Amino acid sequence: PKTNVGGPDDKNQKAGKLGSLDYLPAIEQQKLFKLPKGYQIELVASEEQFPELANPVALNFDNKGRLWVSTMPSYPHWKPKTKLADKLLILEDHDGDGKTDECKVFADGLHQPTGFELGHGGVYVAMQPDILFMKDTNGDDKADTSVRQLIGFDSADTHHGLAAFEWGPGGNLYFQEGTFKFSQVESPYGLTRLHEAGIWRYNPRSEKFGVHVNLAFSNPWGHVFDRWGQDFIADASPGYSFWAAPISGKLNYPLKHPGGSQHRRLAKETGGEPDYLFPTFYKKRTRPSAGCELVSSRHFPDDIQGNFLLCNCIGDRAILNHSMREENSGFVGTEVEPLVFCDDGNFRPIDLQFAPDGSLYIVDWHNALIGHLQHNLREPNRDHSHGRIWRVTYPERPLVKVPVIEGAKVDQLLKLLREPEDRTCYRVRRELAARPSQEVLPQLKKWVANLNPSDPQYEHLLLEALWMYQTHNTVQKELLVQLLRTKDYHARAAATRVLSFWVDQLPDALDLLTVQVADEHPRVRLEAVRALSFMKGEKAMEVALEVLANDMDDYLQYTLDETM
């Protein structure tokens, strides 16, 4: 077929969306990056050394500290019977210099693995209409078994497919789906439906499956939890980012929380005022977005800790950077200087994550063409060979000592929960989640008993313990109540979130939430009102309305309206 790329009728070139068909070597591209003073960027791997790295789309690190990347060179798979070549790779750095020494193909012949995450001895991989659970059973770093773990996801629009796989602190696996989808997923607990976008939640231990956020997103493609369990979601197409707590209360199908970017189109069907837009926590300047991350690394300067990072793959081709502060019940972000910017129009950052050594890794889809409607699926200039992984460091500060996670004893893993890096705690939780409960819980009880109440981290460590009980599906009421009444409102809010998962298992859950609704801090009150959405009966409604006795803000009012 003929091409319109770069021609007089190519609107994308005029809009600045088109890269260059003359692809630069990675060493030349590296010269075109711009970073704030003190930072540097270096190449981890490219298609030049490892042809298997063509069209990378998502990354994670395993508990050995190795980088995993999913690739989609078969995209767009428009011609029937064409052999599928999408892969899941392991990129190993044997000498710790930040550069890949060996590339292993864990799985081949996949179809658009837009998201994946490791856990429970294997890896969960998106392959619509399924999520596969793939496992290496003989230690050769190749998938030996593949089980269709979850089935029934809509595959009509692959561009809005399952993405942004992320473990929550309480042991649930979260992943996201875009608009134009109508999914019906079976679990031992029945059928769960979702239409027109949302965030899914899956508990591998109990097999419970459900919807975490039911909002009319366009295409959510980023999800991250902070140190206290608050989560943030990036919606790719409009470039909006949302604080998740107010929009994650219970709703019955087919209702949706009002205010997503597709809300106007769906309001007659799902309810709510058509013109309402749920507030983003910072003012959007450009679009679209992809993966997101929160800065938590001693290797990075103090003044950037806690910042919200966001991949932008068209408008700026940058890693956008937002300072964060707490305000009333929620959060406010302010855009500051981008962490990474590149003058190469083919730089397409679409995922990022802090590595075990505290450096920041970035997936570069690296393509002249971006999007799916802008060019014909049969466009001959669609690239099927380029892909790069970059690494951002701050040389004036030492890298973080890589923790030993895989194979460590339970008591050693619990000690690692003191580490200040969120991703270290994330990977420790992931490891402990995969261990037998009879191995973890006795050690956890002993660890909690030996904690010192005067320790500055005491309340957060108790919270980590509560999350671990939740992960192992064990209600620990004594610890829960202790955290519901503790000094730090972050811990009280997080404990209230855990309580929302246990309302059916605690006979006095309503009494506990009655106290939380009157808490002195608005975030705790918001979490309580949200938790009440998971309870039935007039009494729960009456308790929720008691929140009106204290000052309200927009987030609180929204949560109350949706709970009612």
- In order, the DSSP letters of 282-301 are S---S--EEEEEE---TTS-
Strands 173-177 and 349-354: unpaired
CATH number of residue 423's parent domain: 1.25.10.10
Estimate to the nearest angstrom the gap between the alpha carbon of 380 and the chain centroid: 33
Pair (480, 336) in one structural domain: no
Query: Would you give the DSSP letter of residue 548?
Result: G
Pair (289, 431) in one structural domain: no
CATH number of residue 299's parent domain: 2.120.10.30
- Residue that is last in its domain, among 393, 421, 453: 393
- Residue that is last in its domain, among 339, 365, 393: 393
Q: What number of other Cβ atoms are within 10 A of residue 105's Cβ?
A: 14
Pair (64, 26) in one structural domain: yes
Pair (319, 456) in one structural domain: no
Residue 2 lies in a domain: no
Residue 276 lies in a domain: yes
Pair (134, 214) in one structural domain: yes
Pair (434, 303) in one structural domain: no
Q: How far apart are CA 335 and CA 187, in angstroms?
A: 41
User: 392: buried, middle or exposed (CB in 10 Å: 19+, 13-18, 0-12)?
Assistant: buried
- The domain in which residue 133 lies consists of 11-393
pLDDT tens by residue, the chain, 564 residues = 467 676 666 666 655 578 899 999 999 999 999 999 999 999 999 999 999 999 999 999 999 999 999 999 999 888 888 999 999 999 999 999 999 999 999 999 999 999 999 999 999 999 999 999 999 999 999 999 999 999 999 998 888 899 999 999 999 999 999 999 999 999 999 999 999 999 999 999 999 999 999 999 999 999 999 999 999 999 999 999 999 999 999 999 999 999 989 998 998 877 778 889 899 999 999 988 999 999 999 999 999 999 999 999 988 999 999 999 999 999 999 999 999 999 999 999 999 999 999 999 999 999 998 866 677 888 889 999 999 999 999 999 999 999 999 999 999 999 999 999 999 999 999 999 999 999 999 999 999 999 999 999 999 999 999 999 999 999 999 999 999 999 999 999 999 999 999 999 999 999 999 999 999 999 999 999 999 999 999 999 999 999 999 999 999 999 999 999
Pair (348, 430) in one structural domain: no
Pair (350, 416) in one structural domain: no
Residue 400 lies in a domain: no
Residue 4 lies in a domain: no
Q: How far apart are CA 389 and CA 22, in angstroms?
A: 19
Locus of tokens 């910072």: 282
Pair (535, 435) in one structural domain: yes
Residue 6 lies in a domain: no
Pair (376, 476) in one structural domain: no
**Would the CA dihedral through 199, 313, 367, 71 be positive or negative?**
negative
User: HSE (CB half, 13 Å, CA atoms) of 187?
Assistant: 20
Pair (346, 420) in one structural domain: no
Residue type, position 508, single letter: D
Q: Give me the number of domains the chain comprises.
A: 2
Residue 442 lies in a domain: yes
Q: How far apart are CA 430 and CA 353, in angstroms?
A: 16
- In order, the DSSP letters of 367-388 are -S--SSSSS-TT-TT--SS--E
Nearest one of 534, 496, 461, 435 to 205, comparing CA atoms: 435
Long-range contacts of 97-104 (CB under 8 A, 24+ apart): 98/42, 98/44, 98/357, 98/359, 98/391, 98/393, 99/42, 99/43, 99/44, 99/45, 100/44, 100/45, 100/49, 100/50, 100/67, 100/389, 103/45, 103/49, 103/50, 103/52, 103/53, 104/141, 104/142
Which residues lie closer than 8 Å to 98 by C-beta, 6 or more apart? 42, 44, 357, 359, 391, 393
